């Protein structure tokens, strides 16, 4: 596919399961609304009707026997779809796209966690996703024990309330998540211009304030906010 023409602004959120992405995404949405800016949000895996089917297959505990390469291919199948169907058209229309996980998650979970390495992930990203890069990535890194406890608790509650089983990744051992976190840190170091890491046991409001400050700077730099705003 062609690489997407970037006219809008592409923001991604990354972090371990339970790192607080959902809350921070909501707060950023309120912040963007307060400026009356045109924005949309998508999540991965999922975000399209084809992607939702891929998500269900990927996250269901009954998919326990899935080979790491199958998992990798499905993450990219989902991503190619959401880029073509939603992200590229929105960026071309000048919108702000806020994405809950993108290729950094694949590099961290499949490249790091499943130990497939970064090279194959970056290569597939270039071939299947036109090497589309976010303008800014917010990486949430609260203490790992806190994230995992929250994610496992939430999954049990969701399953009890909705019957939806999305627990396959949360069921992984702590060593898996340590490898995922180490890879996220490696990416942040390598891509330090793009990735803003929020590291440590910070209060929700402190994290939100730092994100808003960084996003506002970028919005001004890219002309989405003028001097008068």
CA gap 145, 143 in Å, rounded: 6
- Is the CB of 40 or the CB of 75 nearer to ligand TMP? 75
Q: To the nearest whole angstrom, how small is the minimum distance from the Cβ of residue 218 to ligand TMP?
A: 22
- Minimum gap (Å) between residue 123 Cβ and ligand TMP: 15
Q: Which of these ranges, 39-47, 81-89, 125-133, 221-229, lies near ligand TMP under the rule CB under 6 A?
A: 39-47
112-119 contacts, C-beta under 8 A, 24 or more apart: 112/179, 112/180, 112/182, 112/183, 112/184, 112/186, 113/172, 113/176, 113/177, 113/179, 113/180, 113/183, 114/68, 114/71, 114/72, 115/68, 115/179, 116/68, 116/69, 116/72, 118/183, 118/186
Q: Is 17 in the site for ligand TMP (CB under 6 A)?
A: yes
Closer residue to ligand TMP (CB): 60 or 216: 60
- The DSSP secondary-structure symbol of 130 reads T
Which range in 2-10, 105-113, 139-147, 191-199 contacts ligand TMP by CB under 6 A?
105-113
In the complex, least distance from residue 51 CB atom to ligand TMP, rounded to whole angstroms: 10
Q: Report the DSSP beta bridge partners of residue 99.
A: 12, 42
Smallest distance from ligand TMP to CB 113, Å: 7
Choices 41-49, 87-95, 186-194, 196-204; region in contact with ligand TMP by CB under 6 A: 41-49
CB atoms < 10 A from the CB of 146, how many? 14
How far apart are alpha carbons 219 and 187 in whole angstroms? 23
Is 101 among the residues that bind ligand TMP (CB under 6 A)? yes
> Phi and psi for 137 in degrees, rounded to 5?
-120, 125
Does 184 participate in binding ligand TMP (rule CB under 6 A)? no
Residue 125 is a binding residue for ligand TMP (CB under 6 A): no
Which residues of this protein are in contact with ligand TMP, per CB under 6 A?
Answer: 17, 43-45, 59, 75, 101, 105-106, 109-110, 169
């Amino acid at each position: 596919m062609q690489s997407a023409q970037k006219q809008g602004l592409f923001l991604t959120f990354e972090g371990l399961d339970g790192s607080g992405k959902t809350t921070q995404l909501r707060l950023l949405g309120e912040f963007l609304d307060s400026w009356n800016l045109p924005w949309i949000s998508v999540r991965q895996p999922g975000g399209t009707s084809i992607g939702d089917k891929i998500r269900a297959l990927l996250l269901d505990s009954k998919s326990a026997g899935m080979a790491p390469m199958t998992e990798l291919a499905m993450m990219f199948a989902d991503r190619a779809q959401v880029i073509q169907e939603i992200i590229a058209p929105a960026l071309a229309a000048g919108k702000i796209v806020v994405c809950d996980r993108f290729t950094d998650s694949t590099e961290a979970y499949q490249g790091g966690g499943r130990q497939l390495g970064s090279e194959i992930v970056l290569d597939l990203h270039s071939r299947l996703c036109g090497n589309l890069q976010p303008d800014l990535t917010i990486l949430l890194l609260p203490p790992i024990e806190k994230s995992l406890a929250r994610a496992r608790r939430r999954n049990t509650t969701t399953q009890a309330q909705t019957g939806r089983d999305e627990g396959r990744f949360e069921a992984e051992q702590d060593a898996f998540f340590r490898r995922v976190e180490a890879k996220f840190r490696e990416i942040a170091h390598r891509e330090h211009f793009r990735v803003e890491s929020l590291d440590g046991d910070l209060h929700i409001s402190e994290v939100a304030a730092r994100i808003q400050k960084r996003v506002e700077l970028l919005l001004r730099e890219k002309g989405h906010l003028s001097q008068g705003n």
